[in-house]
Amino acid sequence: MHKEPENRSSSLSLRKLFGLSSVYGITPILDRALALILLPVFTRYLSTDGYGSLVLLYSFGTILQLLLFMGFPDSLQKLYWDFKDEERKTLLGTAWVSNLVFNLLLAIPLIIYSGHITAAILKNEKIGILLFLVIVKILFSTQAIVPFVILRAREQKFSILRVNLISIFVRIGLTLLFLVYLKLNLVGIFLADIGTSIAIQFIYLPILIREINLKFRWIYLKEILTLSPFQFSVEILAWIISLSDRMIIQTILGNPTEVAIYAVGYTFGSAITFLVNPVLAAWRPYVYSVHGHSLKNYSTQMGEFLFYFIAICCASFLILVVASPEVIKLLTPSVYHKATSLVGIVLIAHVMAAISNYFLPTFFIVKKMQVVVVVYVISAIANVGFNLILIPRIGIMGAAIATLISYGIMAGIIYIESQTLIRVAVNFRPIFITVIIAASVWYLLLQIDIQNAWVSLTVKMVILVSALSVAALWIYKQRQAPLPLQL
């Protein structure tokens, strides 16, 4: 019988935390890797308008997927350990049946009116068939919720890794077949997505057969729905903050090419989640186990690990901000090269988002998720408002700045509110030193101007690796003799 992890030590267990990162961080890492692998394929075999339309459809598809998920994944992860044996199987069966029914009730009208939706929202009725394909793909992918929750709850990291690797290879293969070889353009991309989703269902089928009872119990659905609204609301608001700007750019500028260029810059800027999200995903269950043992330990370890987390964010920022300009030039046609000016701003914005997520466990512990929803509402309003103000004036750069402002507002409010709920002792001195070092290295590397992209990338990475090695040595010494925590 699997038991929930416990933390009985008052000291910060970095080994355990980074070990958990390998369990919880597999999916986001592979998702980001796939996005970067397919980026040069999409930008070379689609026109800029075609790639812009793809970005818009994926953005719209993301909101549809959130509607179909209805916050079920996070609710099930919490409820999974509240039940045992046959009760747990019935809970999972209820979730699977309910999810399927809700999906069909929402998807069928969307499919029927797909042409009208694309005409009204995306200003292009001709891509209604593409929206139809997007909806079909999402219908298949949502059926993976229950088996994925089972694998993740049991920390079966190698099973999760196997599924994700198969998904990547299948999608790359089908994309090359439909887009590159058969030249089906956008239709080929979505056919590849559908084929991949179907393949994953066959992999998950034995888990569904073994682990669920196809019974429906209202009491279990009620349990799920008591938890899902808060997570669902946050996910919808997060979509507004992170993805709605593509549609605003299209509406204001009326140019899918600008959407495509912005998407390239945003892809590299948001790639910091490739490095940071595994740590965040591991941090939440780890810190819950710490709180279960002692509130004092929770407060102490929240403050102590914040230094290491900021150091991880700074190192990730430097790697991506240094490499992105040259990598964009090497992987994409010249029309996309001006996206390099967006990367630094988007990277800082996602560091702010990561800091917000770092303090979220406090709100779950004291059951104040409504505060988080309010903060996300404020940030979403700020994002949309600044997009509407800045995009007409400075174009896609305005969208990047709006993202930075909204995530900055979120980080500030989340930190202040979390401190009012559970006071966390933070030593700001090493944090400030780390940020100053990162900013200084960034500034120095900006002064290097080498025309050859390969040479420039090599020189900058050598300097960066040297700087990070020195910083890592300093951090190690901090770990050996930590400074006393201060409020």
Least confident span in 18-22, 142-146, 214-218 = 18-22
Whether the per-residue pLDDT at 156 is higher than 80: the answer is no
Whether the per-residue pLDDT at 483 is higher than 50: the answer is no
* pLDDT the model gives residue 349: 95
Q: Across all residues in the chain, what is the average pLDDT?
A: 82
* pLDDT the model gives residue 124: 62
* pLDDT the model gives residue 482: 47
**Per mean pLDDT, which of 221-230, 301-310, 342-351 is the most reliable?**
342-351
* pLDDT the model gives residue 4: 44
- In the block, tokens 């992890």 appear at 5
* pLDDT the model gives residue 321: 92
Helix axes 48-69, 85-112, angle to 10 degrees: 140
- Indicate the burial class of 288 (C-beta count within 10 angstroms; 0-12, 13-18, 19 or more): middle
Which one is predicted more confidently, 462 or 278? 462
Residue 470 tokens, joined: 């020195």
DSSP H/E element including 348: helix 340-358
Per-domain residue ranges of the chain: 12-27+243-487, 46-226
* pLDDT the model gives residue 64: 81
Residue 109 tokens, joined: 């009208």
pLDDT digits (tens, 9 = 90+) for 393-424: 999 999 999 999 999 999 999 999 999 988 88
- Residue 68, C-beta contacts closer than 8 angstroms, at least 6 positions apart: 99, 102, 103, 106, 107, 138, 139, 142
Arithmetic mean of pLDDT, 186-204: 91
* pLDDT the model gives residue 147: 86
* pLDDT the model gives residue 194: 94
pLDDT digits (tens, 9 = 90+) for 9-61: 455 666 666 665 655 556 666 766 777 788 889 988 998 888 988 888 888 88
Arithmetic mean of pLDDT, 122-126: 63
pLDDT digits (tens, 9 = 90+) for 238-280: 888 888 898 899 889 888 899 999 999 998 998 888 788 778 8
Q: What is the C-alpha separation between 331 and 340, in angstroms, rounded?
A: 12
* pLDDT the model gives residue 82: 74
Asked whether 77 and 154 are in contact (CB, 8 A), the reply is: no
- Degrees to nearest 5, angle at CA 242 with 238 and 244: 100
Asked whether 313 and 351 are in contact (CB, 8 A), the reply is: yes
Share of the chain above pLDDT 70, in %: 85
Q: What is the C-alpha separation between 31 and 165, in angstroms, rounded?
A: 10
DSSP category for residue 11 = S
Q: What is the C-alpha separation between 330 and 37, in angstroms, rounded?
A: 13
Of 307, 256, 272, which is closest to residue 474 (Cα–Cα)?
307
